[in-house]
């Protein structure tokens, strides 16, 4: 079966796929705003977090150039917890990840990871010393390079090449699918294998926090399940803390301990992932009824 192509982001909506039930992005945004005129308080976000927050965003105002996208945004995730951001197109979900990794202009507020203020750190510093890795939305493998070369690229900030090599070997020990293809060009991998390679490349720096941008995008259903199993393993077995953006709200909320619904750069709703799945308004707007 061939890999599905990504949906046209400018026109897609939410719903069951039946044309009669698809809700436009504008409608979702308007209705989601109406559900929660006042979003959750910081105390409510704290209460959802298990233990001390490991990733903490405080009153963040951030955006691109002079354009502010996030408005007094707060987030709390405990060590080894997972959080999924859902919401309409353009709500600012990816901008949250971009801000944590250092790709946005931060006007005010702070980002603290593992007790260290990382607000003004560069992405390189975050990867090298703050234990934060960002897994891009899609198509970030180098197709002409081998699987092994792609993995080693993940370790370019390691002080010694031998350390990157050792970390890559640990990845190969863990994932037979990659080991079997280590000398093949990454361009021949299936969609699911490419996503595994992208995740594995981030693991080479041995991060504590994985920022994962739309892991299911463009994948066939069987690969989507595989990718969520891999992420589940990284959280439950390795204790990684995961902050994810996922357009497939059902999958994302099934996976994550916590979910935030983001609307126009602000949190409209927050809760445990399974509670949000049961929330009728979330169901109507984001899960197809
Ligand atoms: N690099 C950028 N430069 C300028 N504006 C940007 C940039 N990236 C995103 N934006 C703008 O920021 C806003 C929020 O975008 P963002 O990608 O964070 O939304 P999103 O909720 O992740 O949406 P989607 O579900 O469509 O990916 C949008 O208006 C978008 O056009």
The pLDDT, as a whole number, for residue 33 is: 60
pLDDT above 80: residue 45: yes
Q: What is the DSSP string of 84-141?
A: EEE-STTSSHHHHHHHHHT-SEEEEEEEEETTEE-TT--HHHHHHHS-EEEE-SS--S
Position 31 scores a pLDDT of: 65
In a domain, 12, yes or no: no
- Under the banding of pLDDT at 50, 70 and 90, the label for residue 13 is very low
CA dihedral of 41, 43, 46, 47, whole degrees rounded to 10: -110
What is the count of structural domains for the chain?
1
Ligand 1 pocket residue status of 90, Cβ below 6 Å: yes
Exposure on the CB side of residue 60, measured as CA atoms within 13 A: 31
Residue nearest atom 2 in ligand 1 by C-alpha distance: 64
Which pLDDT score, from 0 to 100, does residue 17 have?
42
Distance from the CA of 243 to the center of ligand 1, in angstroms? 17
Stronger pLDDT, 39 or 258, i.e. the higher one: 258
Q: Is the CB of 247 under 6 A from ligand 1?
A: yes
pLDDT tens-place string over residues 22-33 = 667 677 666 666
Cα of 163 to ligand 1 centre, how many Å?
36
pLDDT at 69: 96
Residue 120 CA to residue 105 CA, distance in Å, equals 10
**Residue 244, CA distances (Å) to 6, 7, 257, 284 in order:** 18, 19, 11, 22
% of the chain exceeding 70 in pLDDT: 87
pLDDT tens-digit readout, 72-117: 999 999 999 999 999 988 999 999 999 999 999 999 999 999 999 9
b/e burial code for range 141-151 (CB count within 10 A of at least 16 → b): beeeebbbebb
Please name the residue whose Cα sits nearest to atom 10 of ligand 1: 64
Helix axes 161-174, 191-203, angle to 10 degrees: 140
Within the chain, what is the greatest distance between any pair of CA atoms?
Answer: 57
Beta strand 82-86 with 258-263 is: parallel
Quote the CA–CA distance of 97 and 121 in Å, as a whole number.
14
Radius of gyration of the chain (CA): 19
Mean pLDDT value of segment 256-282: 92
| pLDDT confidence bin for 8, thresholds 50/70/90 | very low
Exposed (0-12), middle (13-18) or buried (19+): which is 17, by Cβ within 10 Å?
A: exposed
Q: Report if residue 193 sits inside a domain.
A: yes
**pLDDT beyond 90 at 175:** yes
CATH number of the domain encompassing residue 145: 3.40.50.300
Any domain includes 121: yes
Asked if 289 and 283 touch (Cβ cutoff 8 Å), the reply is yes
Instruction: Tell me, in angstroms, the distance from the centre of ligand 1 to residue 169's CA.
Output: 36
CA 170 / ligand 1 centre spacing (Å): 35
Residue 231 counted as domain residue: yes
Whether 212 maps to a domain, the answer reads yes
The token pair that represents 184 in the structure block: 């093949």
Q: Which residues have a Cβ under 8 Å from the Cβ of 252 and sit 6 or more positions away?
A: 84, 86, 244, 246, 259, 273
Compare 285 and 188 and report the one with higher pLDDT: 188
Decide if pLDDT at 288 tops 70: no
- Please indicate, yes or no, if residue 9 is contained in any of the structural domains: no
Which atom in ligand 1 lies closest to the alpha carbon of residue 245? 22
Q: What is the mean pLDDT of residues 7-11?
A: 39
Give yes or no for a contact between 286 and 261, defined as CB atoms under 8 angstroms apart. yes
Range of the domain at 232: 19-286
What mean pLDDT is predicted for residues 65-73?
Answer: 94
For residue 252, is it within any domain?
yes
Instruction: Name the band, by pLDDT with cuts 50, 70 and 90, for residue 158.
Output: confident
- The encoded tokens of residue 20 equal 């009669």
Residue 170, in any domain of the structure: yes
What's the rounded Cα separation, in Å, for the pair 217 and 5?
9
The residue to mutate among 11, 29, 64, having the most atoms of ligand 1 within 8 angstroms of its beta carbon, is: 64
Read off the pLDDT of residues 209-248 as tens digits, 9 standing for 90 and up.
999 999 998 888 888 999 999 999 999 999 999 999 998 9
* Average pLDDT over the chain, rounded to an integer: 87
């Amino acid at each position: 079966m061939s890999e599905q192509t990504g949906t046209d982001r400018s026109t897609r909506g939410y719903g069951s796929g039946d044309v009669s039930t698809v809700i436009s992005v504008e409608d979702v945004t308007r209705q989601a705003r109406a559900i929660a005129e006042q979003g959750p308080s910081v105390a409510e976000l704290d209460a959802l977090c298990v233990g001390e927050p490991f990733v903490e965003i405080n009153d963040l105002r951030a955006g691109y150039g002079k354009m502010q996208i996030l408005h007094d945004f707060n987030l709390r995730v405990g060590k080894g917890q997972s959080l999924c951001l859902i919401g309409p197109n353009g709500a600012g979900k990816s901008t949250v990840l971009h801000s944590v990794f250092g790709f946005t202009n931060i006007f005010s507020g702070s980002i603290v990871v593992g007790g260290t203020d990382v607000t003004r750190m560069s992405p390189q510093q975050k990867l090298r010393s703050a234990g934060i890795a960002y897994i891009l939305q899609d198509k970030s493998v180098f197709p002409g390079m081998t699987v092994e070369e792609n993995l080693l690229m993940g370790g370019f900030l390691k002080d010694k090449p031998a350390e990157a090599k050792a970390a890559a070997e640990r990845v190969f020990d863990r994932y037979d699918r990659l080991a079997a293809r280590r000398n093949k060009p990454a361009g021949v991998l299936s969609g699911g294998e490419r996503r595994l390679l992208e995740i594995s490349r981030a693991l080479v720096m041995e991060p504590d926090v994985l920022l994962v941008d739309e892991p299911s995008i463009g994948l066939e259903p069987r690969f989507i399940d595989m990718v969520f199993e891999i992420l589940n393993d990284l959280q439950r077995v390795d204790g990684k803390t995961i902050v994810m953006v996922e357009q497939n709200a059902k999958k994302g909320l099934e996976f994550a301990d916590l979910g935030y619904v983001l609307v126009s750069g602000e949190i409209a709703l927050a809760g445990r992932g399974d509670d949000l799945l049961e929330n009728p308004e979330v169901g109507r707007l984001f899960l197809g009824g």
